[in-house]
Chain A
Amino acid sequence: MKINLSRRAFCISTAILSALAFAPDFAAPARADDAIKLGLVAPMSGPNARYGSFAMRGAELAVKEINDAGGIDGKMIELSNADSQGTPVEGVSATRRLIDQEGVSYLIGDVSSSVTLAMQPVAEDAGVLLLNAASSNPKITYDAGVGGFKWTFRNYPTDENRALVVAKYAAEKRGFTKFAVLSVDTDYGRSAIQFTKKYLPQFKGEILSEDYYKEGEVDFRSVLAKIRDNGAQAIIYYGLVDTTPIVARQMTELGLAGKVVLMGNGEFNAASVIAAAPEAMEGAIEAAAWLPAWDSPKSKAFVAAFEAAYNESPNNHAYVHWEAVHLLAEAIREAGANDPEKVREALSKIKYDSAMGEVTFDDHNQARLPMILLEIENGKPSIKGAYSAEIEYPAQ
């Protein structure tokens, strides 16, 4: 009987709890005009949490900075987070909850492209501005702006420009002709290589081997041995920041350090990555949208603030989300009102002074971002050039 009683009590309490949790949903909340409601969808559990965590903290830091400075025209930003777990279903549920229950007018999200793609129709339907800061699938903006989804904007580079610039530099300035591909097996890695293959023949480069690694892979010895034997001069690596030190260390292990160079993107310039395997990282070529060592007042202030607040160095994900919040705040200021329609207009015409230079949006709501080409020299990133390129959109 005792067991039955406690089970019954548990059932009843669960039922009440669930009902209570859902009860607020049964009344559509009124959008208060005195607060700017911003939602953030990011992976906060599961393996992708290792990126979502940086994204969240970057955004939170920016919100705090803006609110501490008096908000936007006196109105404070209210930030609500929801966990997407890196799964499209959860991402859509998170989006729906933020829109319907928290009443957000602006959304930033997600990190995984598949989740962002699933979020797009939801935001479009609800007339909520979706500012993506970390997904790399080109389709997100091929289908945005004049391409379809008017409410989606992206403040993150697509890989077309990057692939071209890196390939060009490697071939022209460093004289490489033989390449091996080792990229992450996601849309990011695959599309970057697709674009690279498009441009490489122009520079008389040939690809000797092509391998993609799964997220979470830690053993590259076999592939690196293959690369050592086929005589490639550079490894085209478009990968994840926490895999770069593993590859670099294993390059050292196999004797490739100093003989073969990494090129592409994977936060080669981060101090912790270089420190993990300095010999292997020496001479690496990277095209990045940001680097912690960038010498501009805004960027340095960001790095200092992040380190002070969280005791950890910021990475790319933290930066782009921080920048996205500030970008949005600027658009709201220029629109003059907390009205998503007006903010959208303002955003599409904005000339935003980011920590890296001027940012504008093209007609597909894709940001034209200044990109930096750098090479690691003597253990430090050395800027070789900056560029900003137009994207060729396929005919719809």
Chain B
Amino acid sequence: MSLTQPSEQARRRDYRVPLGILLFVVALAAPFIGSRYVVHSLIIALVFMLPAHGLNLLVGYTGLLSLAQAAFFGIGAYAAGLLAVAYGTPFYVNAVFAGLVAGAVALPLGVPALRLRSTSFVMCTLGFVIIGQAISKNWISLTRGDMGLSGIPKPYFELGPLSFSVGGTTGFYYLALAIGVLATLAVWAVVRSPAGRNMVAIRENETLAESLGVPTWHYKLIVFMLSAVFAGVGGSLYAHYLTVVSPLTFQMYYSTTMLIIVLGGGAGMISGTIFGSLLFVGLTEALRITPELRMIAYGLCLLVLVFWFKRGFAPVINRVWNAIGGAK
């Protein structure tokens, strides 16, 4: 075998496109393949994926670890729910309103919080969630306090003669899927933009980025607000699906879930967040086969995640994906 001539190796086939199409078809056909339980789990994965995308922008691309997503999620849920119950507005109005309210609240919170260093920042964001819960419990005239906001109507689309209401698990799944796809495209657009590159620069070396003229402070604030918007829209989806919003939405459970999705999936990679949502839901539901050991097993899985998959599953997925694509 000569050293200068390339050796002939059979080119491995690139299966990525067919596989992608297959996955897409499976996603569309899921309600017809799986039981309602499976479809419900997918809806939950999609509902959590939205705030997770927002958190991914924060953690993965700017390096800020925030636990406040649950706060914005809850604010969005209440905003959408209150609007729907009081005025019966169409779903897209509720979703946009929820996102805007969450983003607007993020501004005065972010300005002081982002000055803090990492650990203090984490605790500050946790504080937002706790304060959010206290407000939702005590501002009874607005949120109905502990009685909760129930009876949120089905998502309604006002299209003149074509108006329809989304009902049933299957219908809701397609709605969630559509929103999930839109959100993923939005995140992808943000990351690919020049702004996105600046964000990565901030994560890699903030001081250097500043010296190159990147207004780090503005970027951090905008990303913080943007992540809140994602969480708010996710909250509106949650409100319409569960039909109940209560102060329990501000429990730590939601914050930790979103964090696990992002870190488990792989911070800084969009595919990581998608995979993380599916993984999280798949894991928590699959573990129901042993009700007593479920949470213990879940805790152990978290530990495994930390030690063996320090950067989440995304690098592994990428390798698999590339291998399917013909690379070695």
B308 contact from A10, A22, A83, A90, Cβ within 8 A? A10
B203 on interface, CB distance cutoff 8 Å: no
* Residues from chain B with Cβ under 8 Å of A25 in the complex: 34-35, 37-38
Tell me the complex Cα distance, A44–B295, Å: 10
Tell me the complex Cα distance, A17–B282, Å: 10
B158 on interface, CB distance cutoff 8 Å: no
Closest A residue to B287 by beta carbon equals A21
Q: Are A26 and B34 in contact (CB under 8 A)?
A: yes
A17 and B291 in contact (CB under 8 A), knowing A86-B248, A87-B251, A101-B37?
Answer: no
B33 on interface, CB distance cutoff 8 Å: yes
Q: Are B146 and A117 in contact (CB under 8 A)?
A: no
Most buried by B among A10, A113, A125: A113
A118 and B242 in contact (CB under 8 A), knowing A96-B37, A113-B148?
Answer: yes
Q: Are B286 and A22 in contact (CB under 8 A)?
A: yes
B253 on interface, CB distance cutoff 8 Å: yes
Q: Are B285 and A114 in contact (CB under 8 A)?
A: no
B38 contact from A26, A94, A118, Cβ within 8 A? A26
A89 contact from B38, B44, B289, Cβ within 8 A? B44
Q: Are B308 and A7 in contact (CB under 8 A)?
A: yes
The size class of the interface chain B forms with chain A is 35 or more
* Residue positions of A touching B, CB distance < 8 A: 7, 10-11, 17-18, 21-22, 25-26, 28, 44-46, 81-83, 85-90, 92-94, 96-97, 99-101, 112-115, 117-118, 121, 125-126, 137, 139, 143, 185-187, 190-191
A-B contact number at CB 8 A: 121
* Residues from chain A with Cβ under 8 Å of B285 in the complex: 21-22, 93, 97
Closest A residue to B246 by beta carbon equals A114
B116 on interface, CB distance cutoff 8 Å: no
Q: Are A93 and B291 in contact (CB under 8 A)?
A: no
Tell me the complex Cα distance, A190–B144, Å: 11
Q: Are A82 and B35 in contact (CB under 8 A)?
A: no
Interface secondary structure of A, over-half rule: helix
Closest A residue to B40 by beta carbon equals A96
* Residue positions of B touching A, CB distance < 8 A: 33-38, 40-41, 44, 137, 140, 145-148, 150-151, 168-169, 238, 242-244, 246, 248-249, 251, 253, 282-289, 291-292, 294-295, 304, 308-309, 313, 316
Q: Are B37 and A99 in contact (CB under 8 A)?
A: yes
Q: Are A87 and B253 in contact (CB under 8 A)?
A: yes
Tell me the complex Cα distance, A89–B283, Å: 15
Tell me the complex Cα distance, A112–B253, Å: 16
Q: Are B33 and A100 in contact (CB under 8 A)?
A: no
Q: Are A45 and B295 in contact (CB under 8 A)?
A: yes
Interface pairs A-B: 9 shortest CB-CB: A21-B286, A100-B37, A114-B246, A187-B146, A45-B295, A117-B244, A100-B35, A118-B244, A96-B40
Closest A residue to B151 by beta carbon equals A143
A18 contact from B35, B44, B282, Cβ within 8 A? B282
Tell me the complex Cα distance, A25–B34, Å: 7
* Residues from chain B with Cβ under 8 Å of A22 in the complex: 34, 38, 282, 285-286
Closest A residue to B133 by beta carbon equals A214
Tell me the complex Cα distance, A139–B151, Å: 10
